[in-house]
Structure 1
């Protein structure tokens, strides 16, 4: 399926069309399992936060522009693969790694789960299949993929889709705690947006930047789970502890990466688990 989009609602203060608007709501975390009570005007808070995106995000101006272009690009989407514009996001060989990410995130039955990037829906479907959570929120930057996600997840009334870049939405989530965050939303970043091999140094920096940005909404003892398609990410433990995390674990996943893959190579990838 190939679809195109001509407007991007995550970086502009415009109302979304009806099919997207329902993705922008927020049901709130259940008070019985969340340390913090959700704000009564949470949706308005997100809208206000978007207007001050440049002040609330660690993204540079050129990265915000790249993000806007990314969200305006055409989409080729199947259950096990995703291509946006000229960039391959997910290929079918990643399925075992995606499922391993979910397994690591849900190993202790976290109550409140946040997923960054719906992608091809592999992780989301597994999260719903396990049905071991109290609340599940997914942030997706591309409005058309957010609509696909909203339709796919509609069978679970507690699942919430927010259309926007997670780097811009997360500051508006500052009153919430999540026990597990799954982050597979590496793009769009200008240095890794093209179809080329991921660099383990760049990926390590991205994971640490993400950890810092997400730290305040991870509950004590909670975890941040990310995929390292290079299998060679190395997190500096002193820097990790300084950022408020206690330890990092690397879980190797055997992967049949085809020689035709332009962004990864080798025989395994790592699931990186950061514990707060």
Structure 2
């Protein structure tokens, strides 16, 4: 009987240690960064799951994200573009990305705030943007398209503000939407956020959802929830909904 008790205790301890090890690996490490080089290295390190941005950083080339990451900024911290780039680029191994409390400044030269690498695997992708501000982008603030093959995109946008370049001649802003997502299915949750194209002549939507064949189809839309949000200055050109601000979905903010 004593042998059995010891055996059960030993097995239980092994299971607990294994569970703790797996849990620890999943949680990863948290690292504070204060300059571009530190941010770049932390983004590339798969053992670091959370990055704390402690001060303003100028971004002259894309920050490459290769694994699930959570990036959080200290109060008032910003990322400012210094080149025609996607400031943050999610590569094919990324299935989860959270970013919060950061101000993105495209400086009227950056092509995107957050983009996706080309030829991504067909997989599910979960992205949350919370308490962020995006301004002065030539392209989209968030663009999950290109040659990507996303199976299901689950997008949460909470308490955030998006404002494009003010250019009435439409010579700088070349995006079709402030947020553009291409996937077989897109679940979208938007709460207490503002999408402002900043001029009515751009022919651009607040949010554009595409299917895998690069067409705007209602079948691409999964569960949609938009509350407490506002879409400003979206053109009625083509299929863009001027008052709803979402392409081909007939959804209006409440």
TM-score w.r.t. structure 2 length? 0.29
If asked which structure has higher relative contact order (CA below 8 Å, sep 6+), I would say 1
- Whichever structure has more helix as a proportion of its residues is 1
TM-score w.r.t. structure 1 length? 0.28
